[in-house]
Every structure is written in C-alpha cells, then in structure tokens.
Amino acid sequence: MSSSLILVVSSILETPGLYEELRNDLSLIPNAVEEALRYRAPAPILQRVVKEDVEIRGKHLQKGQPLIVFVGSANQDENKFDRADVFDIHRHPNHHVAFGHGNHFCLGAPLARLEAEIALTELIKKYASLSLPENFTVDAIENSAVYGLRSFPILLAP
Ligand code: HEM
C-alpha cells in the first residue's frame, strides 16, 4: 500500500461504520481522500526564508530569518475547521493546505488525489470488510518533514 493510501485507510478504519458507508456509496471516496489529506497532512511542515522585515499578528519577522510553517497545525485550525480534530468525510468546504498554497502549490496534487482515489476504490470493491487489530495504535515514523506510519497491520475479509 502507498503511504498516502495508508493514511486514508487508517483514518477510515479508526471511524466506526465509515468503511461500510463508503462501500455503500463509492461517490464519497474523493471526500474521504480530501479529508485524510487535511487530517493527516503527509507533508506537515514547509520551510521558508523571510524576504523582508514584516510583522504578522504582533510577531516581528526579520529579512533572512528561516521560517518553518506548520501545515499540520493549519489543517487543524479550529477557527477555520469546525470540530477540526474529527475525521469527517462530509466536511464541506474543506480548504486545507496539505498541498501548500500559492506559487509553490504542489504540481502533483491532481495525480496524488487520483492515485489515492483509484487505489481506495479498488480496495473497497475487493474487500467486504477491513479492520484494525484490537491493540492497534498509530505508530508514526520519526520524521518531522514527512508524516507516515511505521507499520500498518490490517485484517482483510473478501
Ligand atoms: C499526498 C501526496 C503529496 C503531498 C501531501 C504533497 C505536498 C506538497 C506540498 C505541501 C508542496 C509545497 C511545497 C512548498 O510550498 O514548499 C508540494 C510541492 C510540490 N509537489 Fe507535491 N505533494 C504530494 C505529491 C506529489 C506528487 C505525486 C508529485 C509529482 C508527481 C509532486 C510534485 C510536487 C512539485 C514539483 C512541487 C513543487 C512545486 C513548486 O515549487 O512550484 N507532489 N507538494
């Protein structure tokens, strides 16, 4: 399974009844992929260098200063997203920044979305049931620039 697909599937399986809901209505799959991008933010930080002295919300930033932008945090901003800590595939609108924003917006976003949607559709069509082992806990890799899971055991029923 690709790392993006793992993030979508793990988010789905952690939400009781959601796998069945998607299986009954495959048109919800793009929403599920979009919400997993918001909720899990596979690229959780971006790096920038301040171009000119500026003040943002009372913070003085100096030209040349390195900056880390927390995409994962912006995607969980409760001023922007209602119940931001909940994985909700019916969220609308869902203006997350998992693919960045502005000039450097991810060139591969349409491909990444399409791949995840196709893979998830085929997985759901093939298996009547997918579930997590009883003692499952999210085991994230130790990398602040890329979010992914170290291991992802699942139980499949055809
Ligand atoms: C889930 C998968 C992906 C995520 C979460 C992701 C995320 C991002 C983010 C956050 C940026 C902005 C970087 C910045 O502003 O500094 C970015 C840029 C970029 N991504 Fe992706 N990406 C994904 C998949 C892909 C794929 C599949 C491709 C190519 C096939 C791709 C190609 C690029 C390129 C070329 C840029 C640089 C765009 C620029 O600087 O103008 N990405 N991506």
50 domain residue, yes or no? no
136 domain residue, yes or no? yes
pLDDT of amino acid 5? 87
- Residue 4 CA to residue 41 CA, distance in Å, equals 10
- Kindly list the protein residues whose Cβ atom lies closer than 6 A to any atom of ligand 1: 4, 42-43, 46, 98-100, 104, 106-108, 111-112
- Residue 117 CA to residue 32 CA, distance in Å, equals 9
- Each residue of 71-126: pLDDT tens digit? 999 999 999 999 999 999 999 999 999 999 999 999 999 999 999 999 999 999 99
Contact 106, 99 (CB under 8 A): yes
26 domain residue, yes or no? yes
**What's the predicted TM-score (pTM) here?**
0.94
- Residue 36 CA to residue 120 CA, distance in Å, equals 12
Contact 11, 35 (CB under 8 A): yes
153 domain residue, yes or no? yes
Q: 68-73 long-range contacts, Cβ below 8 Å, gap at least 24? A: 69/45, 70/44, 70/45, 71/41, 71/43, 71/44, 71/45, 71/46, 71/97, 71/98, 71/100, 72/41, 72/44, 72/45, 72/147
143 domain residue, yes or no? yes
Choose among 34, 18, 14: nearest CA to 114. Answer: 34
* Residue of 45, 70, 106, 149 to mutate, ligand 1, most atoms within 8 A of C-beta: 106
Cα 61 to ligand 1 centre (Å): 26
pLDDT of amino acid 138? 82
CATH code for the domain in which residue 112 is found? 1.10.630.10
Full domain range(s) for residue 95 = 3-41+76-157
- Each residue of 50-73: pLDDT tens digit? 999 999 999 999 999 999 999 999
Amino acid at 120: L
128 domain residue, yes or no? yes
54 domain residue, yes or no? no
- Residue 63 CA to residue 116 CA, distance in Å, equals 39
Cα 13 to ligand 1 centre (Å): 26
36 domain residue, yes or no? yes
Number of domains in the chain: 1
pLDDT of amino acid 142? 87
pLDDT of amino acid 144? 84
